[in-house]
C-alpha cells in the first residue's frame, strides 16, 4: 500500500506497513513488525507498551531520526524531515541532552529564532513551570528541571504536532501536573499530540485514544474505555435470596452468573443494561456493586507477560 501524495497539509500522522529490524550480536531484533497507524489532526494519542515494545523505534522513524526498512511514514502530509524542517513538529525524545553553559532563557530564545512563528519564550517558560529557573545554566539543572526545559524546547516552535517519548520520567508530582496541563492546553488549540508512556494512568487520563504496542506490533487501538471493555468487561455483584442463576444469566448485558451464598456474581459485557434489567425485574436485589476491569488488567492481558523480552524473532528474514 502507498500513501496518497495529495494528502492535505493539515493531515496528521500516517504509518503504513512500518518495519524496523536492528542487527545485534545475538541476531536480528525485530523492533517494529508491521505497524499501520493513522492519527487525525487534533487527536491526543498515547503509545502505550512495556519496555522494548518498539515505541521509541516508531517515534524515531516518525521524527526522521531513523529510516524504516519497509513501509511509509507521513507526518502532516509530508516527510518527517520536511515537517521538522518547517518547524511544524515539536519533539521530546527519550534520550537527549541540553546545550550546556547557556541559561535556560538563552537556550529557548536561540531555538525560537530558528522558527517562523514561535511562541513567546516567557509564555513557554510559564506553561512549563520553569520561569523561576530562567537564568540558570542548563548544565546546573536537576533531572526533573531538565525534563521541563526539554518540554519547553519542544513547544517553543509552536508546532502543529507534538511528539513526546516518555516525557514525564524524572518529573515530580507537581512537575507532571504542570506538564500535562501545558500539553492539554496545547491540544485544546486543535493540535495533534502523540506521546509514548508506560504509565497507564497517564494514557488513561490524558489521551483520547490509546495505541497499545507489544513486541513490535499494535495489539489494541481505541479509547481507554474500549480497550478495557475489549478485555475485561465488568463484574456486577448483588445479594438476591433464592436466585435462579440460569434465569439471571439471560438478563441483557450479562454473559454468565455465579454465586457465593446469597451473592450473585454477573459477568457483564454491558453493566449499564444489566443493572437496569436487574432492578426492574428483581426489585428485592440489594447491595449492588459494579467493578470494571482496569486498564492495568487490559494492559497485562494484551501485552502478555514478556515485559522485558526483546522483540527478537524466531522467523528469519522478515526485514533487514
Ligand X SMILES: Nc1ncnc2c1ncn2[C@@H]1O[C@H](COP(=O)(O)OP(=O)(O)OP(=O)(O)O)[C@@H](O)[C@H]1O
User: Could you list the residues that contact Mg ion (CB under 5 A)?
Assistant: 55-56, 94
Of the candidates 43, 301, 310, 313, which one interacts with ligand X according to CB under 6 A?
A: 310
Q: Which is nearer to ligand X, 79 or 94 (CB)?
A: 94
Question: Which of the listed partners (Mg ion, ligand X, none) does 51 bind, with a CB threshold of 5 to 8 Å by partner kind?
Answer: ligand X
| One residue of 11, 16, 45, 55 binding ligand X per CB under 6 A | 55
Among 16, 29, 39, 219, binds ligand X (CB under 6 A): 29
Treating both helix axes as pointing N-terminal to C-terminal, what angle do 143-155 and 104-112 enclose, rounded to 10 degrees?
Answer: 20
Least CB distance to ligand X at residue 312 (A)? 7
Q: Is 53 in the site for ligand X (CB under 6 A)?
A: yes
263 binds, among Mg ion, ligand X, none (CB under 5 to 8 A by kind): none
Of residues 195 and 266, the one with the C-beta less far from Mg ion: 195
- Scanning residues 86 to 105, which ones bind ligand X (CB under 6 A)? 94
Query: Does residue 198 touch ligand X according to CB under 6 A?
Result: yes
Using the rule CB under 6 A, give the single segment among 49-57, 69-77, 179-187, 229-237 that binds ligand X.
Answer: 49-57
Q: Is 199 in the site for ligand X (CB under 6 A)?
A: no
CB of 199: closest distance to ligand X in angstroms?
A: 11
Structural contact between residues 42 and 199, judged by C-beta atoms closer than 8 angstroms: no
Contact between 51 and ligand X by CB under 6 A: the answer reads yes
To ligand X, the closest distance from the beta carbon of 145 in angstroms equals 22
In the list 238, 254, 311, 319, the residue contacting ligand X (rule: CB under 6 A) is 311
Task: Give the largest Cα separation in the chain, rounded.
Answer: 77
Helices 224-231/295-303 angle, 10° precision: 60
Q: How far apart are CA 302 and CA 304, in angstroms?
A: 6
Residue 316, Cβ neighbours under 10 Å: how many?
9
203 is a site residue for ligand X (CB under 6 A): no
Tell me the closest approach of the beta carbon of residue 70 to ligand X, in angstroms: 16
Sites of contact with ligand X (CB under 6 A) = 22, 24, 29, 31, 49, 51-57, 94, 198, 310-311
Amino acid at each position: 500500500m502507498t500513501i496518497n501524495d495529495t494528502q492535505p497539509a493539515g493531515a496528521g500522522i500516517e504509518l503504513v506497513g512500518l518495519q524496523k529490524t536492528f542487527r545485534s550480536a545475538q541476531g536480528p531484533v525485530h523492533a517494529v513488525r508491521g505497524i499501520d497507524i493513522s492519527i487525525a489532526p487534533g487527536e491526543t494519542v498515547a503509545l502505550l507498551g512495556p519496555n522494548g515494545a518498539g515505541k521509541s523505534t516508531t517515534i524515531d522513524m516518525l521524527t526522521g531520526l531513523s529510516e524504516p526498512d519497509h513501509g511509509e511514514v507521513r507526518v502532516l502530509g509530508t516527510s518527517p524531515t520536511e515537517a521538522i524542517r518547517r518547524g511544524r513538529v515539536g519533539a521530546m525524545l527519550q534520550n537527549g541532552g541540553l546545550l550546556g553553559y547557556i541559561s535556560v532563557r538563552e537556550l529557548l530564545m536561540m531555538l525560537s529564532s530558528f522558527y517562523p512563528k514561535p511562541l513567546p519564550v516567557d509564555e513557554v517558560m510559564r506553561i512549563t513551570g520553569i520561569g523561576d529557573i530562567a537564568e540558570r545554566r542548563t548544565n546546573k539543572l536537576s533531572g526533573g528541571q531538565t525534563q521541563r526545559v526539554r518540554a519547553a524546547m519542544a513547544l517553543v516552535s509552536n508546532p502543529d504536532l507534538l511528539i513526546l517519548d516518555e516525557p514525564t520520567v524524572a518529573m515530580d508530582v507537581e512537575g507532571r501536573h504542570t506538564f500535562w496541563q501545558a500539553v492539554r492546553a496545547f491540544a485544546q488549540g486543535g493540535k495533534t499530540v502523540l506521546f509514548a508512556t508506560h504509565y497507564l494512568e497517564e494514557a488513561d487520563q490524558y489521551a483520547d485514544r490509546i495505541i497499545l504496542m507489544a513486541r513490535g506490533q499494535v495489539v489494541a487501538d481505541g479509547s481507554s474505555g474500549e480497550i478495557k471493555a475489549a478485555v475485561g468487561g465488568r463484574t456486577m455483584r448483588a445479594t438476591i435470596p433464592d436466585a435462579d442463576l440460569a434465569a439471571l444469566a439471560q438478563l441483557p448485558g450479562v454473559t454468565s452468573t455465579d454465586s457465593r451464598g446469597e451473592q450473585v456474581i454477573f459477568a457483564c459485557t454491558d453493566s449499564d443494561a444489566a443493572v437496569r434489567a436487574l432492578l426492574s425485574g428483581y426489585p428485592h436485589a440489594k447491595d449492588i456493586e459494579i467493578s470494571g476491569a482496569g486498564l492495568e488488567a487490559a494492559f497485562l492481558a494484551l501485552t502478555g507477560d514478556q515485559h522485558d523480552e526483546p522483540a527478537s524473532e524466531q522467523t528469519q528474514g522478515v526485514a533487514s
